[in-house]
Amino acid sequence: MTTGQIGQAGTAPPPPAEKAARRSDSGDFIGSNPLTPYVFMAPYLVLFVIFVLAPVVYGFWISLHNYDYLLPGKPWVGLQNYVDLFTPGSTTSGPFWNSMEATGIFTLLSVPLLVVIPLLLALILNQGFRGRTFFRAAYFAPYVLGVAVVGVLWRFLLDPNVGAVNFYLGQLGLRDDIPWTTAKPWVWAALVGPTLWWTLGFNTVIYLAGLQDIPRDLYDAAAVDGANRWQRFLNVTLPGLRPVLLFVVVVTVLLSANVFGQPLLITQGAPGEETTSAIMYIAETGLRQFTMGSAAAMSYVLALFLMLVSIANFAFFRQREE
Amino acid sequence: MAQATAPVDVKPAGSSPRQRVKLILSYLALILLTLVFAAPLLWMLSTSFKTNPEAIRWPLTWIPREFTLQGYSEIFNTTSQTPVLRWLINSLISAFAHTALVLATAAPAAYALARMHFRGKRIMFAIIISTLFIPHIILIIPNYLIVDMFGWLDTLLAVIVPSVPTALYLFLLRQFFVSLPRELEEAALLDGANRYQIFLRIILPLSKAPLATVAVLSFLQNWNDLLWPVYVLFSPQNLTLQPGLGRLQGAYETEYPIIMAGGVLASIPVLIVFIFAQRYIIEGISRSGVKG
């Protein structure tokens, strides 16, 4: 499973430290209360079990029932909710796969931009500019705003009739009545553009940290060997960035696939339900219409998709490594 | 970390005319991009001080011709269906309480995982870390029912508590505690201090930076969350700012000065946090990327 794999990747550094810890720890603990560690763990563990571990199992249990929050009976239906999702023509399968498609399109459009542009920006900023910290902060700033602010602000900026974007397009002599928030293909730009503005700085900061971890002597050695700029990028920078690149790709894919606030506030799902994302549809089905069994099943199908995509990313990067 | 390490290119920039031109062009590009990034925020601020007609008039005006506080006075009216000031207070309570709970639970647990030896430690750590990669969406429906069972729906407790056990914060703190030298603790043990005293008097004071990082990240996370509060808070008096902005948009539609005033109010606290705690935010994010 992905989780195990990623977990290992996440804990890669500890082993030596762990060993050292055990040795001197056994010394520390002579005569100390064996319950002490559990007292330290307890508050976190209690919340973790109630709000993370139990829900993972409980959610699956719900998905096996015709679980309507508002009705007294919640009959067991086995895998029927899942079967329905994969049966064309059932009440849930159409809108669900529509929302999955919208999520897929958004992810495919936004991820390449969010992986490449921040890398270029980080490479430029990493050249020892005076004021680099300032620029980094400027590009990062929108990221601290909530998606609700981003959503209502861009809904205004992209308003077809009064928005600033269309106004400036008109000033440039271009079309000034583009229906950004209501018609395809413009709606995709209305979702991807603000997302870029909002999260670009996040990836840039991660790349910058990764670039600074590449040992300087590798560049010196490459320079001595007569490598030009491009060769140094291919042979030193890219291999050195591989773990960071993997992290950025995986996290960006997951965040894009979880898109919710942008379609909720900018396009409001328009036109029709074409930009209703999977998360939006699942949340509306489960927590507004309260058909929770079906919504829980959808959430597991989506989760499975996301895990498969993450595994594919890991496999791809591992293969490149060999 | 960024500021600590030397920039990769140590050659003095601008040593030849060609390089100087290149440098100036790069600067121009960076400054232009900065303006593009800042413009939407400035537009939000400017619009919030405009009258309705001016906000939607072309050609645009960046500096309001007719400066007004109408937008703000509308949202400060606490008896309306959109009591934004009330939401601001709710958001502050929620974010501070959430942050306090995160620190109070994650720090001792991270310390136990970093420094103590006990049965089940490895499996606990493995399970907690593996949840870093469980898509959040599968939790919202069961958690809605769990929160309902506790009677927390439509109360701030619903937005404060469930997201407290976040694996990332535990992981960041544990990595830091593992890196601390053990000598201090050993000396204290010899002096007869117990684990609790060591944790409170030696470890925590040494851990201000990582604790600040976790505090700032969890504050921002809680302040900015939208998906969950949209569904668990309903009454106008009980909303926080993020779901509130959606309501504001629904209620005022094209009265943009009011909506933008709400946006400004929701942005000011996080921008202040960002300005003063930039180092911790950026460090936390870099660390989760490079070492995570």
In the stretch 259-318 of chain A, residues with CB closer than 8 A to chain B read 260-261, 264-265, 278-279, 282-283, 286-288, 292, 295-296, 299-300, 302-303, 306-307, 310
| pLDDT, tens only, A248-271 | 998 899 899 999 999 999 999 888
From the list A6, A25, A47, which residue is nearest B116 (CB)? A25
Minimal C-alpha gap between A52 and chain B (Å): 7
Nearest by CB to residue A145, choosing from B145, B267, B290, is B267
Q: Closest partner residue to B263 among A153, A170, A244, by Cβ?
A: A153
Q: Does the beta carbon of A23 lie under 8 angstroms from any beta carbon of chain B?
A: no
Q: Does B243 touch chain A (CB under 8 A)?
A: yes
What are the two backbone dihedrals, phi and then psi, of residue A291, each rounded to the nearest 5 degrees? -85, 80
3-state secondary structure chain B: CCCCCCCCCCCCCCCCHHHHHHHHHHHHHHHHHHHHHHHHHHHHHHHHCCCHHHHCCCCCCCCCCCCCCHHHHHHCCCCCCCCHHHHHHHHHHHHHHHHHHHHHHHHHHHHHHHHCCCCCHHHHHHHHHHHHHCCCHHHHHHHHHHHHHCCCCCCCHHHHCCCCCCHHHHHHHHHHHHHCCCHHHHHHHHCCCCHHHHHHHHHHHHCHHHHHHHHHHHHHHHHHCCHHHHHHCCCHHHCCHHHHHHHHHHHHCCCHHHHHHHHHHHHHHHHHHHHHHHHHHHHHHHHHHHCC
Counted across chains A and B, CB pairs separated by less than 8 A come out at: 346
Whether A14 has a pLDDT exceeding 80, the answer reads no
Q: Of B151 and A272, which is predicted with more confidence? A: B151
**pLDDT by residue (tens digit) across B138-151?**
999 999 999 999 99
Residue A192 has pLDDT above 60, yes or no: yes
Residue B290 pLDDT class (50, 70, 90 cuts): low
The one-letter code for the residue type at A148 is A
- For A295, residues 6+ apart whose C-beta sits below 8 A from its C-beta are A282, A283, A285, A286, A287, B141
The string of DSSP letters for A197-265 reads: HHHHHHHHHHHHHHHHTS-HHHHHHHHHTT--HHHHIIIIIHHHHHHHHHHHHHHHHHHHHT--HHIII
Q: What is the pTM of this model?
A: 0.87
How large a percentage of chain B has pLDDT more than 70? 93
Task: Read off the pLDDT band of B222 (50, 70, 90).
Answer: very high
Is A22 within 8 Å of B117 when comparing Cβ atoms? yes
Confidence of residue A40 (pLDDT cuts 50, 70, 90): very high
DSSP code per residue over A152-188: HHHHHHT-TTT-HHHHHHHHTTS-S---TTTSTTHHH
Interface touch A58/B259, C-beta < 8 Å: no
CA distance A169 to B254: 21
**Partner-chain contact B141 A153, CB within 8 Å:** no
What is the pLDDT of chain B when averaged over all its residues?
A: 88
Query: B79 to chain A, minimum CA–CA distance in Å?
Result: 23
Contact B34 A62 (CB under 8 A): no
